[in-house]
Structure 1
């Protein structure tokens, strides 16, 4: 048994979960075991939705494993990365005892999942450096040890900071916390970054897990397909804690179609366009009088500080452009996060901001 299973809540290590009608591997021609309707819905022309779906569609699981360079048994498909985060917190953290560590300003679901589980939240703020908003490994390790962290979330590239965490730094944290915490690297924006995935470290560190999603680079946000990649034994535990039928059949088929070779070729070309636009927009924004700072990014967005963030936000809205207001996040009282759009949409952003007052 893998040592990482010692991090699972003791009461869930042998938890059987719910045995759905699809969990039994049976063969037959007339399926009368799940109380499904005998006819498809009149609106379901393809007759794909009458029966409950495969809880972990094997073809999609195999394709995702190929895409991310892991074994199928190391991967659990869920409803976006959000479900994976929630499953990890529920499976590993005893309420009021085992803490969840994250590095604000960062994606808010780590804190939300910890709150719902009544798990203590440990915050180790990112450092605002010349290289951008970056994590402090020594501070993370010290806080995790002192605060009894069972889960450490590292967002790489960071949202909203935009920077990747060097793999050597990830490995340092995983090594230091072996036997105490699972280190979870959230790579929602990994396709836009140059460095390899943290999955390349998993052979040496069973207390590492990686989150991936089809929502961003693969343009399938509404399909809600994400996954967690981890030790196969831990994946089995998470599956037993998961809802019976997490992946709707139409979503699974759409994801499979979106991952065929022709679709992947087009996705790779679009990623290259986004990266080129990221460089162009960063340079152009940096020259605008109203902009105080544009943070370097490895993702599909830019974090920008303004002399007057409210004026910038309103100017963009007046031009029909909606961006993410970050002023309520720690350290970001003057910042907006701008997703990279098409070249034409990015030009619209620049035109809207060009008339604003200069930075003080």
Structure 2
């Protein structure tokens, strides 16, 4: 079992035992206040583990409940996995920049080394499994794959992921971050969970479901890994208001609205991409399977100043040599995207 790859002290860790929560009883066992300021029931701790939320998320992502742990965004899942499996100053994680920087941040917090296998911009930032395997060491516990990747928007074909899963079986967890998968045509690799004991999948409601403010995500894996990660989650971690709002959103109406949002975003993504490619200030726009575009400008400095004057914010990567003069642009509404394009068109006109 891949759970055996965890830190020895985590394998023997006894989780905190919470006060019993039982309906219809007088609860004087958790030092809760007898009432809240607004008398809204928030004087009581939320469920130790949000069972209703777990059930809904498992159904949404097509997995069994015992294979899923609700987390406060997928970022918490990255933290839990890194703390559970990486021994400080002994183990390493492997990442493929440019990618989501929190993999590196949580590794640094845990004292784990970071091995980088850069993606090639000229090859549309495609992952090469053979290059990754060549850099793996005996102490490489985690390989993070963001698909579609942030900030490039590139999806990783499953055969490349499968090669890593097979080659690193019993040695590394392959953690596939699917934060943006709803904006692509790909199936979730969670469908392969029964085939690969070392597969871990991250999901979130922040993007396609428009629920970033609730901080709701999930980690999916084999039952042993999920049980192990559950030991590290504090009790009562998921607040009652957040849980209630997520459950309300995961309704038929909410699902219909989410699907509509995704469809609108994809249509706008392609419209904006085509418009950007026609602008003189733009030198390249990479194809994207996410809710954003990676754009290279002739002069990012000039563009950034103009966008700031027009009160438009984009994500620049000045500290990344791999992304020189590049910015990640989130796809907004039609009106918001038109505001962006007008500002960039004005920039191009002023330089002609």
Q: TM-score band (shorter)?
A: over 0.9
Give 1:244 deviation, angstroms.
1.6
- Which residue pairs with 1:302 in the alignment? 293
Matches for 1:20-31 after TM superposition, within 5 Å: 20-21=18-19, 24=20, 26=22, 28-31=24-27
- Aligned-residue RMSD, C-alpha: 1.6
Give 1:327 deviation, angstroms.
2.4
Question: Could you tell me which of 12, 15, 18 is aligned with 2:13?
Answer: 15
Contact residue 15 and residue 232 of structure 2 kept, 8 A: yes
What is the distance in 1 between the residues matched to 2:21 and 2:239? 19
Contact residue 279 and residue 345 of structure 2 kept, 8 A: yes
- Gapped runs of 5+ residues in structure 2? none
**Superposition TM-score, scaled by structure 2 size:** 0.96
- Which residue pairs with 1:333 in the alignment? 324
Matches for 1:279-290 after TM superposition, within 5 Å: 279-290=270-281
Q: Does 1:259 align with 2:250?
A: yes
- Structure 1 runs of 4+ aligned residues shifted over 6 Å read none
1:105-153, Cα deviation, whole Å (9 max, x unpaired)? 11111011000110111111111234x2122211111212x36210000
- Which residue pairs with 1:32 in the alignment? 28
Contact residue 289 and residue 356 of structure 1 kept, 8 A: no
Q: Does 1:46 align with 2:44?
A: no
Matches for 1:164-183 after TM superposition, within 5 Å: 164-183=155-174
What is the distance in 1 between the residues matched to 2:118 and 2:112? 19
Contact residue 128 and residue 160 of structure 2 kept, 8 A: no
Aligned residues: 351
| SS of alignment partner, residue 188 of structure 1 | coil
Q: Does 1:4 align with 2:12?
A: no
Contact residue 2 and residue 198 of structure 2 kept, 8 A: yes
1:250-275, Cα deviation, whole Å (9 max, x unpaired)? 10010011111111101101100000
Q: 1:267/1:8 Cα in 2 relative to 1: closer, same or farther (>3 Å)? A: same
Give 1:25 deviation, angstroms.
6.0
| SS of alignment partner, residue 12 of structure 2 | coil
| SS of alignment partner, residue 338 of structure 1 | strand
Q: Does 1:73 align with 2:66?
A: yes
What is the distance in 1 between the residues matched to 2:235 and 2:54? 16
Give 1:59 deviation, angstroms.
1.1
- Which residue pairs with 2:308 in the alignment? 317
**Superposition TM-score, scaled by structure 1 size:** 0.94
- Gapped runs of 5+ residues in structure 1? none
Contact residue 56 and residue 76 of structure 1 kept, 8 A: no
Give 1:330 deviation, angstroms.
3.8
What is the distance in 2 between the residues matched to 1:283 and 1:272? 17
Question: Could you tell me which of 108, 111, 133 is aligned with 1:115?
Answer: 108
Give 1:204 deviation, angstroms.
0.6
Higher alpha-carbon deviation: 9-18 or 161-170: 9-18
What is the distance in 1 between the residues matched to 2:62 and 2:178? 14
What is the distance in 1 between the residues matched to 2:167 and 2:195? 13
Higher alpha-carbon deviation: 96-105 or 327-336: 327-336
Contact residue 49 and residue 235 of structure 2 kept, 8 A: no
